[in-house]
Structure 1
Amino acid sequence: MKIAILGAGALGCAIGAALTEGGHETWLLDRSPEHVGTMRRGGLRVDDERGSRQVAVRATTEAQEAGVVDLVVVLVKSFHTEAAMRGARCLLGPDTLVLSLQNGLGHENVLADVVGRARVLAGKTYVGGVLRGPGHVQSGVAGKATYVGELDGARTARALAVAAAFDQAGLATIVSDNIVGTMWDKLLVNVATGALTGITGLTYGQLYDEPALKDAALSAVGEAVAVAQAAGVTLSIAAPEQAWHLAAEGLSPAFKTSMLQSLDKGSVTEIDFINGAVVRWGRRHGVPTPVNATLVACIKGIERAMADRQRGERVA
């Protein structure tokens, strides 16, 4: 299968490396000339449970170089989804599918507005990754499930084909007939750890050493569960404790959440699509979400302070 990874950051590189090693023609698309240039010159350095190795990948900043593909896997930051997909429409042929594996809720609707709903598959992945530098990723693929599915829950040949291609590459992938519930399950995991690590600056290991933070995480997840139930979503995660334990399962204590990685790089976060989504859905269904609203406000405050510092540095 010919596959384009739209957004070759930490997660995009982890998945892209696995697909490349699995024999698929995989293109890693990213906006960073330094990151792409490093991969083009010497390959992508992958650190994982197997050790460290260089993977010869196809990397580019220009979608035109890849050309038409069978599958576009969207992994850009949530707030870049529309612009990135509009800028990469040259990847689309008559039968090209578009699969979002992004964190949070709402990307499928954004993509459908750009490429048409008929092309769009939804998905969630528990694969982890940390970008250690240009062309260098720490990957957490082993034992991490990925889910794909049609928005209407049908088990189609095309969804099964995507799952088979991922499985072939060592990415354990399941076709879900309840992909909306699956997306909410992953949202609960992100709600459990993302904002708290962004606010505190703690790695997974440090976070799980602090009982007070666990209490806050369980409260945030509990609100999200209540919202999902009010919305009629069928969850496989029955209790907040499950989301809390699942969030760090199989990951090194030194791993950082994607939200903390964004803040470390001086970038805005995906808070609006994670805890912010819980708050929006809560308002829609009359469910109070004070813990999630507080977490959103704190992250927004950190982003504001970061932006002010960056402006001051530019002026100086």
Structure 2
Amino acid sequence: MKICVLGAGALGCAIGGVLTEAGHEVWLINRNAEQVDAMNSRGLILRDDGADRAVQVHAATTAQGVNMDTGAVDLVIVLVKSFHTRQAMEAATSLLGPDTAVLSLQNGLGHEGILAEIVGRERVLAGKTYVGGTQLAAGHVIVGTRGKDTHIGELDGRITGRVQRIADTFNRAGLDTTVSDNIMGTIWDKLLINVATGALTGITRLTYGQLYRQPELEACGVAAVAEAMTVAEASGIRLSITDPRDAWLKAGAGLPDEFKTSMLQSLEKGSVTEIDFVNGSVVRWGAKCGVPTPVNQALVACIKGIELGLPGSSSH
């Protein structure tokens, strides 16, 4: 299979690296020239269980750098930051052939609609992965695939030949993947966990240990989840989480006191967050189905205000 990872950061390199080792032609797209040069010159270095190994990969800074002599790409895996989705996919349409599938494994909710506008809804698949990747240096990542599952599916819940082929490809590469007939429910379940704590930690700058000791913050997080659950149910989404407090508890389960959410980490680095695709998605879906979302609206507004105060920032 010819596969392109659009947004090959640490996670994209981890996934792309093991797919390459399984014998597929994988292209890793990363805008960072240093990262691309390192991978092309000495290979992608994967650290797995403490040991490093080099994988010879194809890397490019743009989709135009992908060799199309071997034909169109069979699968585009989208892993760019949520707010770069439109720009990245619009710049990568040259990869598409008649049967190319586009799979979002991004965090949050809403990428599917953006991708569908650009490539057509019939091409788009959605997914959620718990595979891990941590950047050590340019072209050098820790890969965490053992015991980490991935779920993919068609937006309408059908079990098709193409989604099964992709799952089989992933499984043979050691990526534990299942096909879901309720992928939007799976994505919403994960969204509820992000809704519970992400914005709150970004606003308060608290670690999980501090956050989970404050009853007022728990009440706010649980209220945000309850709103999101009402929106999901009004939108016909099948959730597995039935109690909003469960999402709050799951968000912190097994994590150390010093844990910081990705939203807090982004703000600490001076970067904008993916708030529009987390709590912001709840607000947008609520507006569509007539469900009020005042708690999530307030959380979005606070994060947007913090982003405006970042050095050199502009609204995105």
Q: Calculate the TM-score normalised by the size of structure 1.
A: 0.86
Write the letter of the residue equivalent to 1:53.
D
1:98/1:222 Cα in 2 relative to 1: closer, same or farther (>3 Å)? Answer: same
* Residue aligning to 2:29: 29
- Asked if residue 63 in structure 1 is aligned to residue 67 in structure 2, the reply is no
**Kept in 2: contact 1:227–1:287 (CA 8 A):** yes
**Kept in 2: contact 1:130–1:255 (CA 8 A):** no
* Residue aligning to 1:189: 193
Structure 2 counterpart SS, 1:143: coil
Match of 1:287 among 282, 285, 291: 291
* Residue aligning to 2:151: 147
Q: Distance in 2 between matches of 1:302 and 1:176?
A: 37
Q: Distance in 2 between matches of 1:22 and 1:147?
A: 19
Q: Once the two structures are superposed, what CA deviation does each residue of 1:165-204 show, in whole Å capped at 9, x if it has no partner?
A: 1112222211111122122112112212322333344455
Q: Distance in 2 between matches of 1:171 and 1:229?
A: 31
Match of 1:158 among 134, 144, 162: 162
* Runs of 5+ consecutive residues of structure 1 not aligned to the other structure: 312-316
Match of 1:299 among 273, 294, 303: 303
1:29 deviates by: 0.5
* Residue aligning to 2:7: 7
* Residue aligning to 1:134: 138
- Asked if residue 243 in structure 1 is aligned to residue 247 in structure 2, the reply is yes
1:63 deviates by: 1.7
- Higher mean Cα deviation, 234-243 or 258-267? 258-267
- Asked if residue 177 in structure 1 is aligned to residue 181 in structure 2, the reply is yes
**Kept in 2: contact 1:39–1:59 (CA 8 A):** yes
Structure 1 counterpart SS, 2:168: helix
- Asked if residue 270 in structure 1 is aligned to residue 274 in structure 2, the reply is yes
Q: Distance in 2 between matches of 1:213 and 1:4?
A: 41
Structure 2 counterpart SS, 1:27: strand
1:59/1:106 Cα in 2 relative to 1: closer, same or farther (>3 Å)? Answer: same
Aligned alpha-carbon RMSD (Å): 2.6
Write the letter of the residue equivalent to 1:13.
C
Q: Distance in 2 between matches of 1:46 and 1:252?
A: 25
Q: Once the two structures are superposed, what CA deviation does each residue of 1:264-300 show, in whole Å capped at 9, x if it has no partner?
A: 3332211111101111222333333232222211211
1:208/1:166 Cα in 2 relative to 1: closer, same or farther (>3 Å)? Answer: farther
Write the letter of the residue equivalent to 2:40.
R
Q: Distance in 2 between matches of 1:23 and 1:203?
A: 41
Structure 1 counterpart SS, 2:97: coil
* Residue aligning to 1:310: 312
Write the letter of the residue equivalent to 2:63.
A
Structure 1 counterpart SS, 2:37: helix
Q: Distance in 2 between matches of 1:183 and 1:211?
A: 27
Q: Once the two structures are superposed, what CA deviation does each residue of 1:210-229 show, in whole Å capped at 9, x if it has no partner?
A: 55544433222222112111
**Kept in 2: contact 1:42–1:54 (CA 8 A):** no
1:54 deviates by: 4.0
1:108 deviates by: 1.6
Structure 2 counterpart SS, 1:93: strand
1:71 deviates by: 0.5
Write the letter of the residue equivalent to 2:50.
G
Q: Once the two structures are superposed, what CA deviation does each residue of 1:221-261 show, in whole Å capped at 9, x if it has no partner?
A: 22211211122211112223433344456767666433234
Give the share of equivalent positions with the same residue, in percent: 63
Q: Calculate the TM-score normalised by the size of structure 2.
A: 0.86
* Runs of 5+ consecutive residues of structure 2 not aligned to the other structure: none
* Residue aligning to 2:82: 78
- Asked if residue 51 in structure 1 is aligned to residue 45 in structure 2, the reply is no
- Asked if residue 219 in structure 1 is aligned to residue 223 in structure 2, the reply is yes
